[in-house]
């Protein structure tokens, strides 16, 4: 092409001026880039806001902003009381820290749940709980009158008296087991708090549930991890809380902010070391391809220059890049190096015949310039095809990488020749080709039909693999599972109430919300459905009557709890109570099974009798630490009042009700919903009942549909664009179809290799597919254009040498991604590597066999 030859000739004649102009442009561009190019780590912004599911998501975020941009502290304690107390302390400390936090909430800490919690239970569960409490009235009476270890032991004596009278004490087995464990710990010299909530209100002692503190951090948008400082502050505060310091409570964290921060940290983890190793390997491949430092340095400098100018393009025209488009740097290096290698290796071949550097540079431009231009254009089309899609992350990547291909081409025909003129590599004394290429060419020529038949079978297998290849829609599977927030999140997945993949919908009023939650709750894919109506329960009159009856029976106990004794108990008084309890238990030992908890309690008490006063009082403090709160909580629960929407606390209203009267409804999937297939079923089932439903489960499945739709759209656009370009350049349908057929085979082989490797496609590694188009088109174009020029020894040529070492450098650049700590990036590297292998096999085996067949047919 005359214009390419003219540019190369001008660059090598004014080499110094050309290099200085490029350096000035790069310096100005990088300065502008440093000031204006930013990174958006919000994965929600990877998709167009015009999509229906994104609009629903945006509307939901607007309606309930309190659930956005959170650090979620997950508090777990050895007992529920310790977890709750620590959560309250943490929430108060975060609210007081205005340096790092806007606000903090502890939703479960609302007094509403203590005062009205029993009203939220179904009637049958409420009846069972009240029956258990009433049956324990004598035991509770002792505790209310004497909230100490002495009162506890007096209650145990009453249970022993019940055994003597022939009463069934099996309802107390759970409570007795809890008491026995604590007494054993005290006897061993390590007294621990007793969970009176579990004993009085029911539950499993010693496990403790998770409590959630929701904090809105002040984000530092000028850093790569905007919430990192606030997260560190949260953990620093948590570590100073008493029960955390004592090892009784743990505080972990998760949420949108730390998940986003940690993903970016994973992306950048080892980036410098990986980059150094990658550059070193690329330099090695360049040396093996070019055998001259005077050729290698110009190529590396050209790559750096092209990358700097591409970054400037991104800063000027895109301005904000995302977690996907940030990969343009790796893609640029992997693809742009091909153009420089092609030109330089072809220059070596030309200089064997034309020793003069100036003339050789122009002659190389004449022979290879058009091929490189076509490869760059076709590759750019493969990227630009994504620009119109709704997958903004890849659309931006396509725009930057597509422009980068033209920038790389321009650098190859201007900056590179100028550098080559300055570095002045020596002439070639021997022909340049691919060692062993002639032997392979001859083999493929002789066995072309068998080779083509084999690839037909592989193509068919690839088509089956492509159809059955799994798409993993779970965004969590692309994150590093070893980060703190991901480890914490995985501990929450098994519980339907804390599963992050829920669905939600808005009902017009409370009655409609109750009906919708009822319909959703009956679906086999739904583990539980709740709504704002859940907090205004039905059958309130019946429940209030049940509470009133229990309150009447327990009146003396509740009265004593309201007026606890003021004189502290002494160690001697506790010893006397222990002795009485031991006597009572020994008196009924013959009537009890050998493994009965009451007998084990007696044994622990006998050990405790020999302990010091300090140890006895430490046991008393541990056993009774949460007893007063439990008795007060029981009193408050039994005094529940009717609940109406108007009487609900503001914090609950804000979470479930909108000012216009609409009510939020949430549905949680069963354990099967943790897989992509199960999540699809859950989302489909919910949408049948609530077509306007949204939430993470619905948006996750919609995201998968958007991604697949975007790639289908882009594949069609790219195929059409590349076909038109090939037809315009080749003006020959046959040769255009050869390139496209080889490209299609590369895609099918990639699918086959991915299937055999057990890989799934996800929203991160699917980026490998446009790259497959770019690399495949480039390599195929070089061979087909040589074929059109009359070449028949394809693999023995300088072009084959350039393609091989270009593939090695590209594979090195892409392969470095496979070692990323970020699972999405690593899977992208894996798929890129497989796709490159597929391209190489197609280009070096299938394409020569096909071209030999076409060449022989032409002779006939």
Contact indicator for 464, 246 with CB cutoff of 8 Å:
no
Does residue 276 carry a pLDDT above 80? Answer: no
CA dist 301 and 315 (Å) reads 21
Do the strands 320-322 and 38-40 form a parallel or antiparallel pair, or are they unpaired?
parallel
- The runs of H, that is alpha helices, within 165-322 are 173-187, 196-201, 228-239, 242-245, 256-268, 271-290, 293-313
According to DSSP, residue 822 is labeled: S
Contact indicator for 83, 77 with CB cutoff of 8 Å:
yes
Closest listed residue to residue 94, CA positions, set 220, 217, 258: 217
Give the pLDDT score at 454: 96
Instruction: Please tell me whether residue 165 adopts helix, strand or coil conformation.
Output: coil
Mean predicted confidence (pLDDT) in 220-247: 90
Rounded alpha-carbon distances, angstroms, from residue 641 to 55, 545, 657: 40, 11, 21
Token pair for 539: 């059958």
Give the pLDDT score at 208: 38
Contact indicator for 571, 617 with CB cutoff of 8 Å:
yes
**What percentage of the chain exceeds 70 in pLDDT?**
96
Buried b (16+ CB within 10 A) or exposed e, 575-585: bebbebbbebb
**What percentage of the chain exceeds 90 in pLDDT?**
50
Token pair for 69: 């941009």
Does residue 352 carry a pLDDT above 70? Answer: yes
CA dist 589 and 291 (Å) reads 93
Please tell me which residue, 131 or 328, carries the higher pLDDT value: 131
Contact indicator for 666, 695 with CB cutoff of 8 Å:
yes
CA dist 632 and 565 (Å) reads 14
Contact indicator for 186, 619 with CB cutoff of 8 Å:
yes
Token pair for 570: 């002494």
Q: List, in sequence order, every residue forming a beta bridge with 530; answer none if it has no partner.
A: 666
CA dist 587 and 160 (Å) reads 8
Token pair for 319: 């301005």
Contact indicator for 813, 741 with CB cutoff of 8 Å:
no
Buried b (16+ CB within 10 A) or exposed e, 673-712: bbebebbbbbbebbbebbeebbbbbbbbbbbbebbbebbe
Please, which residues have CB within 8 angstroms of residue 427's CB and are 6 or more apart in sequence? 351, 352, 355, 357
Mean predicted confidence (pLDDT) in 196-214: 68
**Rounded to the nearest 5°, which phi and psi values hold at 680?**
-60, -45
Please tell me which residue, 798 or 266, carries the higher pLDDT value: 798
Closest listed residue to residue 581, CA positions, set 608, 617, 557: 608
Q: List, in sequence order, every residue forming a beta bridge with 506; answer none if it has no partner.
A: 664
Give the pLDDT score at 204: 36
Contact indicator for 69, 220 with CB cutoff of 8 Å:
no
Buried b (16+ CB within 10 A) or exposed e, 219-235: beeeeebbbbbbbebbb
Token pair for 309: 């100018």
Please tell me which residue, 19 or 435, carries the higher pLDDT value: 19
Does residue 326 carry a pLDDT above 60? Answer: yes
Token pair for 22: 């490029």
CA dist 397 and 322 (Å) reads 9
Do the strands 210-217 and 101-105 form a parallel or antiparallel pair, or are they unpaired?
antiparallel
Give the pLDDT score at 524: 93
The burial class, CB within 10 Å (0-12 / 13-18 / 19+), for 804 is: buried
Chain centroid to Cα 28, Å, comes to 37
From first CA to last CA, the distance across the chain in angstroms is: 32
Give the pLDDT score at 812: 79
For the chain, counts of helices (H) and of strands (E): 37, 9
Closest listed residue to residue 737, CA positions, set 728, 727, 729: 727
Please give the sequence-ordered ranges of beta strands (E in DSSP) within 300-447, or none if there are none: 320-322
CA dist 548 and 540 (Å) reads 12
Give residue 759's region: left, alpha or beta (phi > 0; psi -120 to 50). Answer: beta
CA dist 470 and 26 (Å) reads 43
Token pair for 82: 């310790």
CA dist 150 and 129 (Å) reads 26
CA dist 815 and 812 (Å) reads 5
Does residue 271 carry a pLDDT above 70? Answer: no
Closest listed residue to residue 533, CA positions, set 616, 657, 366, 707: 657
Domain boundaries defined on the chain: 2-43+293-425+701-859, 121-191+543-638
Rounded alpha-carbon distances, angstroms, from residue 1 to 368, 375, 621, 786: 9, 14, 91, 15
CA dist 483 and 364 (Å) reads 52
Does residue 327 carry a pLDDT above 80? Answer: no
Instruction: Please tell me whether residue 665 adopts helix, strand or coil conformation.
Output: strand
Please tell me which residue, 209 or 8, carries the higher pLDDT value: 8
CA dist 666 and 502 (Å) reads 7
Contact indicator for 337, 282 with CB cutoff of 8 Å:
yes
Contact indicator for 261, 227 with CB cutoff of 8 Å:
yes
Give the pLDDT score at 383: 86
**Digit-coded pLDDT (tens) for 161-180:** 888 888 877 777 778 888 89
Closest listed residue to residue 42, CA positions, set 293, 320, 369: 320
DSSP collapsed to 3 states, 504-568: EEEECCHHHHHHHHHHHHCCCCEEEEEEHHHHCCCCHHHHHHHHHHHHHHCHHHHHHHHCCCCCC
Give the chain's length: 860
Contact indicator for 77, 197 with CB cutoff of 8 Å:
no
Chain centroid to Cα 405, Å, comes to 31
Does residue 493 carry a pLDDT above 50? Answer: yes
Q: What is the mean pLDDT of the chain?
A: 88
Token pair for 267: 């992306």
Closest listed residue to residue 60, CA positions, set 68, 50, 69, 51: 68
Contact indicator for 799, 786 with CB cutoff of 8 Å:
yes
Mean predicted confidence (pLDDT) in 56-66: 90
Contact indicator for 825, 790 with CB cutoff of 8 Å:
no
Give the pLDDT score at 267: 65
pLDDT range class, residue 322, cuts 50, 70, 90: confident
CA dist 669 and 496 (Å) reads 6
**Digit-coded pLDDT (tens) for 311-321:** 999 999 999 98
Give the pLDDT score at 570: 92
Does residue 859 carry a pLDDT above 70? Answer: no
Contact indicator for 182, 624 with CB cutoff of 8 Å:
no
H/E stretch holding 526 reads strand 526-531
Contact indicator for 198, 80 with CB cutoff of 8 Å:
yes
Give the pLDDT score at 18: 97
């Amino acid at each position: 092409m005359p214009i390419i030859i003219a540019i190369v000739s001008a660059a090598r004649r004014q080499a110094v001026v050309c290099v200085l102009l490029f350096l000035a442009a790069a310096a100005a561009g990088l300065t502008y880039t440093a000031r204006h190019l930013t990174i958006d780590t919000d994965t929600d912004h990877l998709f167009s806001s015009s999509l229906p599911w994104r609009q629903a998501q945006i509307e939901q975020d607007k309606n309930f902003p309190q659930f956005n941009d959170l650090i979620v502290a997950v508090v777990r304690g050895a007992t529920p009381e310790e977890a709750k107390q620590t959560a309250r302390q943490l929430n108060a400390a975060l609210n007081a820290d205005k340096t790092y936090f806007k606000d903090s909430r502890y939703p479960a800490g609302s007094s509403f749940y203590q005062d009205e919690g029993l009203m939220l239970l179904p009637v049958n569960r409420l009846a069972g709980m009240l029956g258990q409490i009433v049956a324990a009235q004598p035991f509770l009476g002792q505790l209310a009158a004497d909230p100490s270890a002495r009162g506890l032991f007096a209650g145990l004596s009453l249970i022993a008296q019940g055994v003597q009278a022939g009463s069934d004490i099996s309802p107390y087995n759970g409570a007795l087991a809890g008491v026995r464990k604590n007494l054993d710990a005290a006897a061993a010299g390590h007294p621990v708090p007793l969970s009176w909530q579990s004993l009085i209100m029911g539950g499993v002692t010693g496990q403790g549930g998770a409590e959630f503190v929701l904090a809105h951090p002040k984000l530092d948008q000028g850093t790569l991890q905007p919430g990192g400082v606030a997260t560190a502050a949260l953990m620093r505060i948590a570590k100073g809380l008493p029960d955390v310091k004592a090892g009784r409570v743990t505080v972990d964290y998760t949420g949108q902010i730390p998940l986003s921060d940690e993903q970016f940290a994973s992306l950048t983890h080892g980036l410098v070391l990986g980059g150094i190793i990658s550059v070193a390997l690329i330099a090695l491949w360049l040396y093996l391809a070019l055998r001259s430092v005077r050729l290698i340095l110009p190529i590396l400098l050209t790559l750096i220059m092209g990358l700097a100018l591409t970054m400037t393009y991104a800063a000027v025209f895109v301005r904000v890049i995302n977690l996907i488009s940030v990969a343009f740097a790796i893609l640029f290096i992997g693809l742009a190096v091909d153009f420089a290698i092609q030109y330089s290796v072809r220059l070596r071949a030309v200089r064997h015949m034309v020793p003069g550097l100036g003339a050789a540079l122009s002659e190389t431009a004449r022979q290879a310039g058009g091929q490189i231009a076509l490869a760059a254009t076709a590759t750019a089309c493969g990227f630009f095809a994504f620009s119109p899609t709704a997958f903004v992350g890849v659309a931006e990547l396509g725009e930057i990488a597509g422009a980068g291909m033209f920038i790389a081409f321009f650098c190859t025909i201007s900056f590179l020749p100028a550098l080559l003129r300055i570095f002045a590599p020596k002439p070639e004394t021997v022909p340049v080709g691919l060692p062993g290429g002639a032997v392979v060419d001859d083999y493929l020529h002789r066995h072309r039909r068998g080779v083509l038949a084999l690839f037909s079978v592989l193509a068919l297998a690839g088509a089956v693999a492509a159809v059955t290849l799994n798409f993993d829609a779970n965004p969590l599977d692309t994150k590093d599972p070893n980060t703190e927030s991901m480890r914490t999140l995985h501990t929450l997945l098994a519980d339907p109430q804390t599963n992050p993949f829920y669905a939600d919908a808005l009902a017009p009023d409370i009655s409609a919300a109750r009906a919708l939650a009822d319909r959703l709750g009956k679906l086999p894919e739904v583990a539980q459905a709740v709504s704002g109506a859940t907090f205004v329960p039905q059958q309130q009159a019946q429940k209030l009557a049940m509470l009133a009856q229990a309150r009447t029976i327990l009146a003396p106990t509740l009265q004593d709890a309201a007026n606890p004794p003021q004189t502290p108990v002494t160690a001697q008084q506790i010893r006397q109570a222990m002795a009485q309890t031991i006597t009572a238990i020994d008196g009924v030992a013959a009537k009890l099974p050998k493994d009965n908890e009451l007998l084990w309690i007696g044994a622990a008490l006998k050990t405790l009798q020999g302990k010091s006063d300090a140890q006895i009082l430490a046991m008393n403090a541990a056993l009774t630490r949460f007893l007063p709160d439990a008795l007060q909580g029981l009193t408050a629960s039994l005094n529940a009042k009717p609940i109406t929407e108007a009487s609900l606390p503001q914090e609950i209203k804000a979470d479930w009700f909108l000012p216009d009267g609409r009510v939020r409804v949430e549905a949680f999937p069963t354990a099967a919903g943790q897989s992509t297939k199960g999540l699809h079923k859950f989302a489909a089932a919910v949408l049948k009942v609530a077509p306007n439903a949204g939430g993470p489960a619905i948006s996750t499945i919609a995201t998968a549909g958007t991604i697949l739709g975007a790639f289908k759209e882009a594949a069609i656009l790219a195929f059409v664009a590349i076909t038109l370009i090939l037809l315009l350049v080749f003006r020959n349908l046959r040769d255009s179809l050869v390139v496209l057929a080889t490209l299609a085979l590369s895609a099918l082989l990639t699918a086959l290799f991915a299937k055999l490797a057990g890989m799934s496609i996800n929203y991160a590694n699917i980026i490998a597919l446009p790259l497959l188009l770019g690399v495949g088109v480039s390599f195929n174009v070089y061979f087909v254009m040589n074929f059109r020029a009359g070449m028949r020894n394809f693999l023995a040529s300088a072009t084959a040498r350039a393609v091989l070492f270009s593939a090695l450098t590209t594979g090195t650049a892409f392969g470095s991604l496979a070692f990323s700590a970020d699972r999405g990036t690593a899977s992208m590297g894996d798929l890129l590597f497989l796709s490159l292998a597929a391209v190489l096999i197609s280009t070096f085996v299938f394409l020569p066999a096909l071209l030999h067949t076409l060449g022989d047919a032409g002779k006939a």
